[in-house]
Amino acid sequence: MATMTTMTTRTAGMLAAVALALSACKHDGAATTAPGAQPKPRTTSPAIAELLAAVPGAAVALGFLDVDSSPWSLVTEGTPLPLDEATRKALDKELRAYVDRYLGLDVSRLQYAVGFFAASPPRGAVVLKTIGGALKMPGASNYEGGKLWLVDPDQHVSLAIRGDVIALGSDAAVREVLETLAGKRKPVTADNPALVDWLRKDSSGAFLAFAATRPTELRLPPPVGGLERFAVTINASGIAAVVDGNEASISWLQAASDQAFATMLATVEQAHAAALAGKPNPAEGAMAIIGSAYARSYAARLKPRRSGNRLVASLDLGLAGTGPAAPMTYGGATTA
């Protein structure tokens, strides 16, 4: 029993670490640019569409990670200081052997992630791709064409593997993923296309995107109850967020946002004035002057803008020229 507990804890920990490491994952649609050429628009990997087709239709929130370098390659190739070729090959070989000895899976190609949340009752999971091998963990059961492990009975956390896909999360949500992959449930792409379209909007080529809609059965008090959906996107050029709702709720959110920005700027400017008056020590004063300049600039650029019953906030980081967004395909249908 102790051995099994150790193995399940280790396995869950390793997979959780891999999931977190996907904030630096490689995808098929990454833009490639020849020296001196105009940067090509970054497109979203087809694997994200495949994973969305594994999400059950009950989902009310969706998100994906799809960025440029796999966790495995970051480690074995050396980041930020590149390894020499001999060391890189030796590290890759030794690390593969070690992971295979304890985990049994080939995680070197694991580079895509989609997360979802469903309500009534609350449940969610992360679905990852692409893995190989067979997990060395006892206690597996067969379920809808996959292998299922209950890794934390107290918290009802399960892990499942089906083909090259891993699902990790609440037991109910993980089982729903397997049922969806087996065709026993409708995927979110068919059952809730509005949520998928909301995620898709302006997210082609994004490193990270998240979208959610308020469940119709969830009754919230005003003014929060009038906020209908929101989305966040991070891509090569910057960050964008949008919230939709009725007039009263959007007006309330705008007022709260304006007050928060005003309070923040007032606090920063007090420190700035104190620095100019010579009150703090030189190091603190210099930081206050720098912080004031950055706060004024970013507050002006981040402050949400009202457009009808919608609030939009964006920050252009100027990291890369992405050009116009390419159409994104979800569940076999291309949307522009």
Q: What is the pLDDT of residues 272-302, one digit of tens each?
A: 999 999 999 999 999 999 999 999 999 988 9
End-to-end, the C-alpha distance of the chain in Å comes to 53
Work out the average pLDDT over 178-202.
Answer: 95
| Per-residue model confidence (pLDDT) at position 266 | 96
Higher-pLDDT residue of 218, 54: 54
Domain finish residue from 186, 217, 232:
186
314, part of any domain: no
201, part of any domain: no
326, part of any domain: no
Are 292 and 166 part of one and the same domain? no
CA distance 91 to 334: 41
Are 11 and 101 part of one and the same domain? yes
| Per-residue model confidence (pLDDT) at position 305 | 94
What is the CA 325 to chain-centroid distance, rounded?
19
Confidence of residue 336 (pLDDT cuts 50, 70, 90): very low
238, part of any domain: no
| Per-residue model confidence (pLDDT) at position 145 | 97
Domain coverage including residue 133: 2-27+70-186
pTM assigned to the model: 0.79
Asked if residue 325 has pLDDT above 70, the reply is no
User: Taking the CA atoms of the chain, what radius of gyration do you get in angstroms?
Assistant: 23
| Per-residue model confidence (pLDDT) at position 261 | 94
Residue 276, φ and ψ in degrees, nearest 5:
-65, -25
CA distance 114 to 53: 10
Q: Which of 22-31, 131-140, 178-187, 234-243 has the lowest mean pLDDT?
A: 22-31
Instruction: From residue 17, give the alpha-carbon distance in Å to each of 21, 72, 139, 162, 298.
Output: 6, 12, 22, 20, 32
CA distance 5 to 13: 12
Asked if residue 332 has pLDDT above 90, the reply is no
| Per-residue model confidence (pLDDT) at position 39 | 60
| Per-residue model confidence (pLDDT) at position 251 | 96
Residue 122, φ and ψ in degrees, nearest 5:
-65, 135
In what order do the strands lie in the sheet containing 310-316?
141-143, 146-152, 157-162, 165-170, 123-129, 112-118, 59-65, 208-213, 227-234, 238-245, 310-316, 305-306
Q: Which of 133, 129, 151 is nearest to 10 (CA)?
A: 151
Are 129 and 19 part of one and the same domain? yes
**Virtual CA dihedral for 31, 194, 159, 154, nearest 10 degrees?**
130
Are 181 and 252 part of one and the same domain? no
Domain finish residue from 159, 186, 213:
186
Are 274 and 146 part of one and the same domain? no
Residue 245, φ and ψ in degrees, nearest 5:
180, -175
Higher-pLDDT residue of 75, 326: 75
pLDDT digit string (tens) for 205-263?
899 999 999 887 777 888 999 999 999 999 878 899 999 999 999 999 999 999 999 99
**Number of Cβ within a 10 Å radius of residue 43:** 20
Domain finish residue from 186, 216, 233:
186
Q: What DSSP line would sit under 195-223, residue for residue?
A: HHHHHHTT-TT-SEEEEEE--TT----TT
Work out the average pLDDT over 118-134.
Answer: 94
Provide the mean pLDDT of the chain.
85
